[in-house]
Chains A and B, each alone.
Chain A
């Protein structure tokens, strides 16, 4: 794909639809209530909100790691297949006893792909995230940013249609975070997966997404749905532009309103 051309992304038909989704934990806490959300094919959507707004809970329900207590979640045809959803946790969540290559091979091996093919595909995925030459490195020998790259490679190795990310860069320093944000956008544009990105950072959500779903807490619910119709690829130019600042202000106000304050 030609990266020099600035493109405006439009979302396709929904890959996942949430209807009246709610989640009450066993201890009685109402984590999420009445979430209506349709995520379009190829979109980059951020779930933004303060801690306790249930954004991670929504993500885990979409992943199928948790069942909603009310409402329903529908996947587009094919979305039920193993490996069609990739998940990146807040921590790198690597197996410390395996090297980078074996960590990335895991989803393929679990799906029964033979060792040789899995190794080839995992090596390719590592190269895609910029880690060529680190196949044999154990997680202990990698920096925080590199571990996150391995984690992203593992999520992408099955070529998922939907990539779910739960504050993946929250623990990284700012320079590394910016770099990984750029790299994530590059991968997203090249591979055309649908991305749902949970974050509590206004700036990160505006920089990355085409659509921002603002959530509020107690109980967790969707309060605002904002589009950031700026073309991709976005780079340092966008980060310092007036449009970027305007979007940040808009989203920030929505977030403060959601938290019951006045900006």
Chain B
């Protein structure tokens, strides 16, 4: 603004310094679409893994360890390929139970959290039972559930759900109650309805918390499904990866046991990565956790 003359036209403009103060994403040099740091993050653990597997293979061969005690990674890999047909059926069953449990946990956890957020009385009355459900070891109640529920698949689903739903419920409840005070006042100033406050303020605020819960619950659903399968010990066609491990143990087919174990681990990692990706996609525009470095 000119220091001598008063402003002659009433116009509001952004000053250059204000615009220059805006945070800018730091653009890093990329190699094939990834920054050097991202590559290091992927390649370094891979290198450690390859080295460890190499050492394992060498130790097994050098000491001539029989495969029913400890098979080498190469033999586990061969078994995985040879038994892929039967293992893949079991993997599919375990995956079905895991994802069904995760889906129900997410839907019910979210719905219950919204219910809790509507009324302190409901939250106070019901939350302790959610905690009791959470702290009771699933191995202890799985046999009961399997006795009570005729359909084994449903029983397994219930077990996995019990383990998976608590993080979603407690995280989302926390998130729904974390709305910014000033924003809450703003909604009150414009006389927003309960529904508007829920949809436009509380649910968006709870989103990162819900996704954080989902990330934890993804792994827990898998663990719940596996534990329940162990307890149920169902034989025949409709059995998951846990039963493959039990079965292989009884038959002393240790490489097959390891192969099933590898599949479980890979599934767990895949679920975690998938949930991380979902979280990143949902939050990348606004949440600190999904932000690139800025100045």
Contacts and interface: CB of A to CB of B under 8 A. Distances in A.
Interface of A: 1, 3-4, 6, 60, 63-65, 82-83, 85, 87, 89, 91, 93, 95-99, 106-107, 109-111, 128-131, 137-146, 149, 175-176, 179, 182-183, 186-187, 189-190, 233-237
A65 B21 contact: no
Contact of A176 (B3, B18, B291): B18
A145 B188 CA distance: 25
Contacts of A233: 6-7, 10
Contacts of A128: 12
Nearest to A86: B189
A210 B14 CA distance: 25
B202 to A, nearest CB: 12
A62 to B, nearest CB: 11
B22 A146 contact: yes
B200 A130 contact: no
B189 A140 contact: no
A1 B10 contact: yes
A146 B286 contact: no
Given A65-B185, A110-B192, A143-B23, A237 B9 contact: no
25 contacts: A64-B189, A65-B189, A82-B190, A93-B183, A97-B286, A106-B190, A110-B187, A110-B192, A139-B286, A140-B285, A140-B294, A141-B22, A143-B21, A145-B15, A146-B21, A176-B18, A182-B7, A183-B12, A186-B12, A187-B12, A189-B10, A235-B5, A236-B2, A237-B3, A237-B6
B18 A235 contact: no
Contacts of A60: 185
B186 A87 contact: yes
Interface of B: 1-15, 17-24, 180, 182-183, 185-192, 196, 200-201, 204, 207, 285-287, 291, 294
B189 A63 contact: yes
Contacts of A131: 14
Contacts of A145: 15, 18, 21
Contact of A237 (B4, B22, B287): B4
A131 B4 CA distance: 26
Contacts, number: 126
Contacts of B190: 82-83, 106-107, 110-111
Given A143-B18, A175-B17, 15 more contacts: A3-B7, A89-B182, A89-B185, A91-B182, A93-B180, A95-B201, A96-B287, A97-B204, A98-B204, A99-B285, A109-B200, A111-B190, A131-B14, A187-B12, A189-B10
Given A97-B204, A235-B6, A130 B192 contact: no
B1 A110 contact: no
A140 B286 contact: yes
A236 B187 contact: no
A6 B6 contact: yes
B3 A236 contact: yes
Contacts of B187: 110
A142 B12 contact: no
Given A140-B286, A237-B4, A146 B10 contact: no
Given A93-B180, A106-B200, A235 B7 contact: yes
A98 B199 CA distance: 13
B9 A82 contact: no
A189 to B, nearest CB: 6
B14 A176 contact: no
A4 B9 CA distance: 7
Nearest to B294: A140
A36 B245 CA distance: 81
Nearest to A235: B6
A176 B6 contact: no
A235 B11 contact: no
A95 B17 CA distance: 24
Contact of A4 (B6, B200, B294): B6
Given A139-B286, A145-B15, A187-B12, A182 B6 contact: no
Contacts of A63: 189
Q: Which 3 residue pairs spanning A and B have beta carbons closest together?
A: A143-B21, A145-B18, A3-B10
B295 to A, nearest CB: 12
Contact of B1 (A91, A111, A182): A182
